[in-house]
Amino acid sequence: MAINHLVALGKSAGAVTSGLSVVIKQLGQFRNGTAAEQDAALDFFGAADEKNKAQTDDLYERIKLGRVVILTSPEVFAGTEKYGWRDNAYCQLPEQQLDEGGNVFCKVVDFIRSECQKYKIGPPNIFYAVAGAFDLQANMQYSLSVLNWLVPRGRQGANTWVNVTGGTNIVNNALFTASYLMGTVGRVYYTFVPNEPPFLACLRPPKTDAVGQFWHNLPLLRVTPDEGLYLLLDELSKLGAGNTIEAGDLLARLSNTSPFAPIQPGSLTPEQKQENLHDFRVLYLNKLAPTYVERDAAGGNRLTKEGRDLHTFLKEQHIERKLLQGRDAKPKDKDKPEGVKSVSEGTPC
């Protein structure tokens, strides 16, 4: 089944290559190493319990490097700004000074291919998507779409790993959120080196224990979007320009939708109605204000610009549909999402 990798690439090539170098080395050791190295590799990939249940070739097919999808910015992709790196040996500090630099995206693509050749394993199919480093909506769109492509229905689990080391906090927030929403990612990981020379910009782990000191798996949860918040945004979006609505009237409009059934006014006493209205404000309106919902002095509510943008994004991305849909067959390269391209389709490299 192979393990696919979704990675964020910013100014540092090593943020992507160092983690993948661990993966590639472990695969090489499983393929060509000693019995002890093979056991260590299976443990790294979380497949140790499969050792006595499958043939070596079958195990390799399950843990081998699948597709690698690189999410990066226009500047990094085009190489308009040059950034350096240190081509250090595995688990060793670099002997050379910082390389004068070049196109970071091209360096990552070249590194993956050459590292696979060095360890005698097949290279992956490499894809990329380009979005602004501070464009949360675009990065969310790509993250959700790519994960939905890579993880078909019925094959959920450890066949897609997400690296949140590189890129901006905005990009990594998108990767984290998409991973949590989809609930089909096998591993989210982060590679750490001290933010000081000579550790910076290394293409491979500079520490003596690449897995224990360098590689960190992060907690991965399955979360469900709150439908009520989206319905509230949707109802407020129907107001005409400049119009507002009081909380009680808004709750009455939403009272026929299931998320609000426990707190809808219905045939309740005045005291119960006031209590439900209070809960509605605390659980929903207060969560959206003041960033997404603004209130005037008279108690009227309306969407802010950020609220309108959020509603548009959620509606356009069909978040719920993305969580429910899937494919019964294995993902195919030709089915990749719009905007995601193969490196064979043309790059600045």
Dihedral (CA of 84, 90, 91, 97) sign: negative
| Residue pLDDT, tens place only, 160-217 | 999 999 999 999 999 999 898 887 788 999 998 887 777 888 999 987 666 667 899 9
Classified as helix, coil or strand, 82 is coil
* CB contact burial 219-234 (16+ within 10 A = b; e otherwise): eeeeeeeeebbbbbbe
Q: Considering only the top CATH level, what class is 227-317?
A: mainly alpha
Lowest mean pLDDT across 1-10, 117-126, 144-153: 144-153
Contact 77, 126 (CB under 8 A): no
The answer to whether residue 157 scores a pLDDT higher than 70 is no
> What token pair was written down for 251?
């709750």
Question: Which of 65-74, 240-249, 326-335 is least confident?
Answer: 326-335
CA–CA separation, 93 and 189 (whole Å)? 22
pLDDT band at 150 (very low <50, low <70, confident <90, very high): confident
As a whole number, mean pLDDT of residues 74-89 equals 89
Sign of dihedral through CA atoms 320, 322, 323, 324? positive
- Which positions ≥6 away from 322 have C-beta within 8 Å? 144, 145, 148, 181, 182
**DSSP annotation of 203:** S
Read off the pLDDT of residues 37-81 as tens digits, 9 standing for 90 and up.
999 998 999 876 666 656 767 888 889 999 999 999 999 999 987
Which H or E run includes 145? helix 136-150
CATH 1.10.10 segments of the chain? 227-317
- Condensed to tens digits (0 to 9), the pLDDT of residues 286-329 reads 989 899 999 999 989 999 999 998 888 777 665 545 544 444 45
Contacts of 176 (CB under 8 A, 6+ apart): 164, 188
CB 42 within 8 A of CB 50: yes
The more confidently predicted of residues 347 and 210 is 347
At 187, the amino acid letter reads R
Share of the chain above pLDDT 90, in %: 44
- Per residue in 132-145, pLDDT (tens digit) is 999 988 898 899 88
Is residue 294 helix, strand or coil?
strand
H or E stretch covering 237: helix 227-237
Evaluate if residue 158 carries a pLDDT over 80. no
Residue 31 CA to residue 23 CA, distance in Å, equals 12
Q: How confident is the model at residue 182, as a pLDDT?
A: 80
Quote the pTM value.
0.82
